[in-house]
């Protein structure tokens, strides 16, 4: 059966080591927080995550009444995608883009301006007229896409260009959301948000398919994985088809069958990566545990296509289970690598992993089996989620605003 070698992605899979004697190391330049894209965007996104979900639950339960420029439900759904997840994607791609190409990505004042633009959009949802919020919110991602396309084309890194195309489609989804909210286009505002979640899931499928098996092999002496090209291609194609049908086609048996096929393909794909060998390495098992939420989410959406359960279960399996758990796994791993620290997580980080997975299980599972306890499940999931990202801030904020442990730039 055809096999493929492990694809590679350079996101500091191993901790940096001090330069050998006689080797010149580039001196750090500028404020550490603005030396590489992951620093301000990981810090901002995780702090926002820790605050925004409890605020949303308080609004949902009637404990807090904020004067938002959009309905609380739409604010929550939009900000979790474009205030939180997209910010992590931006930080990751600005960092990985430099690693993939060897070319510089924004730093210093230019990176600071991008981070301030992201923050201004978050605040404008609370205090500014809606057109101001929409304009600020839409501006960030296309700027990042232009940067990414520029370095990829100059370095002839063609295999990564599809990621830039997905980022541009995220801009289109975001703009469509705002146009739907103000009534310029006749589309339900949740539909573009589903499209954004679909695009983020596709980014996860592409990136995870590179890094998870590579990290697993690197950390497991003697391990060899057989990655079957036809299965890889079929999994990505079925996933893209199912997600596109979810966004653009009315629910029905065809959508259910496509999602079911994609769920099976995703599960078979992950089994190739032999997740059970990582059980003693939390920095690895969190990525495997997060990825399994993709076939779970697809299976739940397949069932929802037949109106057998609420669509919310599948949405939150992908958004809380897959996306947030992959995020907590990657922002700990890449931040450790890019600050010159060993890839051995502390007990606090393991606790953060467990709390995010717990939040996903509670948010998805309790409304399915005990809907009468919805309020309690929302509170429990929010506490677990917020605590997890609070732990990240506690552990990593001092590192993100400081020079690398090895003294290198970046």
Q: Over the stretch 337-364, which tens digit does the pLDDT of each residue have?
A: 999 999 999 999 999 999 999 999 999 9
* CA dihedral for 3, 12, 237, 151, sign (positive or negative): negative
Beta-bridge partners for 4:
227
Provide the pLDDT for residue 407: 87
Provide the pLDDT for residue 28: 74
Is the confidence at residue 153, as pLDDT, over 70? yes
Calpha distance 3→389 (Å, rounded): 38
Calpha distance 10→98 (Å, rounded): 9
Return the structure tokens found at 131: 């057109």
**Domain 32-400, CATH among 3.40.50.300, 3.30.420.40, 3.30.70.100, 1.20.210.10:** 1.20.210.10
Percent of the chain with pLDDT over 90: 84
For residues 251-267, give the mean pLDDT: 97
Calpha distance 86→204 (Å, rounded): 12
Provide the pLDDT for residue 188: 94
Contact 339, 399 (CB under 8 A): yes
66 alpha-carbon distance from chain centroid: 27
Band (24; pLDDT cuts 50, 70, 90): low
Is the confidence at residue 410, as pLDDT, over 60? yes
Calpha distance 375→84 (Å, rounded): 23
Q: Over the stretch 69-92, which tens digit does the pLDDT of each residue have?
A: 889 999 999 999 999 999 999 999
Band (268; pLDDT cuts 50, 70, 90): very high
* CA dihedral for 119, 122, 123, 127, sign (positive or negative): positive
Q: Where are the domains of the chain?
A: 32-400
Is the confidence at residue 144, as pLDDT, over 50? yes
Q: Where are the alpha helices (DSSP H) in 222-346?
A: 229-248, 253-272, 282-291, 293-305, 311-316, 325-338
Band (1; pLDDT cuts 50, 70, 90): very low
* SS3 state at 327: helix
Provide the pLDDT for residue 326: 97
Is the confidence at residue 167, as pLDDT, over 80? yes
Calpha distance 93→40 (Å, rounded): 13
Is the confidence at residue 20, as pLDDT, over 70? no
* Residue 56 CB coordination number (10 Å): 21
Provide the pLDDT for residue 5: 44
Calpha distance 312→366 (Å, rounded): 12
Calpha distance 348→397 (Å, rounded): 14
Average of per-residue pLDDT values in the chain: 91
- Cβ-Cβ contacts under 8 Å for 107 (sequence gap 6 or more): 29, 30, 34, 35, 36, 37
Provide the pLDDT for residue 328: 97
């Amino acid at each position: 059966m055809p096999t493929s070698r492990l694809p590679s992605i350079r996101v500091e899979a191993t901790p940096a080591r001090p330069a050998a004697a006689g080797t010149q190391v580039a001196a750090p330049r500028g404020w550490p927080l603005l030396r590489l894209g992951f620093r301000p965007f990981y810090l901002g996104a995780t702090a926002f995550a820790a605050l925004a979900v409890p605020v949303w639950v308080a609004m949902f339960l009637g404990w807090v009444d904020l004067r938002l420029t959009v309905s609380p439900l739409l604010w929550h759904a939009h900000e979790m995608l474009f205030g939180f997840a997209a910010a992590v994607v931006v930080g990751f791609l600005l960092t990985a883009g430099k690693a993939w190409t060897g070319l510089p990505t924004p730093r210093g004042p230019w990176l600071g301006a991008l981070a301030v633009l992201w923050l201004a959009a978050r605040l404008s949802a609370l205090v500014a007229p809606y057109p101001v919020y929409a304009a600020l919110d839409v501006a960030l991602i296309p700027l990042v896409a232009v940067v990414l396309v520029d370095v990829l084309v100059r370095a002839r890194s063609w295999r990564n260009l599809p990621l830039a195309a997905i980022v541009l489609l995220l801009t289109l989804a975001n703009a469509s959301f705002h146009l739907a909210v103000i009534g310029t286009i006749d589309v339900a505002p949740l539909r573009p948000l589903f499209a954004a979640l679909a695009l983020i899931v596709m980014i996860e499928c592409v990136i995870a398919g590179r890094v998870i098996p590579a990290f697993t092999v690197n950390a497991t002496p003697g391990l060899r994985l057989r990655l079957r090209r036809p299965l890889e291609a079929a999994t990505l194609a079925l996933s893209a088809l199912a997600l596109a049908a979810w966004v653009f086609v009315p629910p029905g048996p065809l959508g259910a069958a496509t999602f079911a096929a994609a769920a099976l393909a995703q599960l078979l794909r992950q089994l190739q990566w032999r997740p059970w060998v990582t059980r003693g390495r939390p920095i690895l098992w969190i990525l495997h545990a997060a990825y399994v939420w993709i076939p779970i989410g697809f299976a739940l959406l397949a069932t929802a296509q037949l109106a057998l359960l609420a669509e919310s279960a599948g949405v939150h399996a992908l958004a809380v289970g897959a996306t947030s758990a992959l995020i907590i796994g990657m922002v700990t791993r890449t931040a450790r690598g890019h600050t010159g620290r060993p890839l051995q997580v502390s007990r606090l980080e393991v606790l953060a992993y467990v709390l995010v997975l717990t939040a996903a299980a509670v948010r998805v599972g309790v409304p399915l089996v005990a809907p009468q306890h919805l309020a309690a499940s929302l509170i429990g999931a929010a506490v677990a989620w917020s605590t997890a990202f609070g732990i990240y801030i506690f552990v990593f904020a001092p590192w993100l605003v400081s020079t690398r442990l090895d003294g290198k730039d970046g």
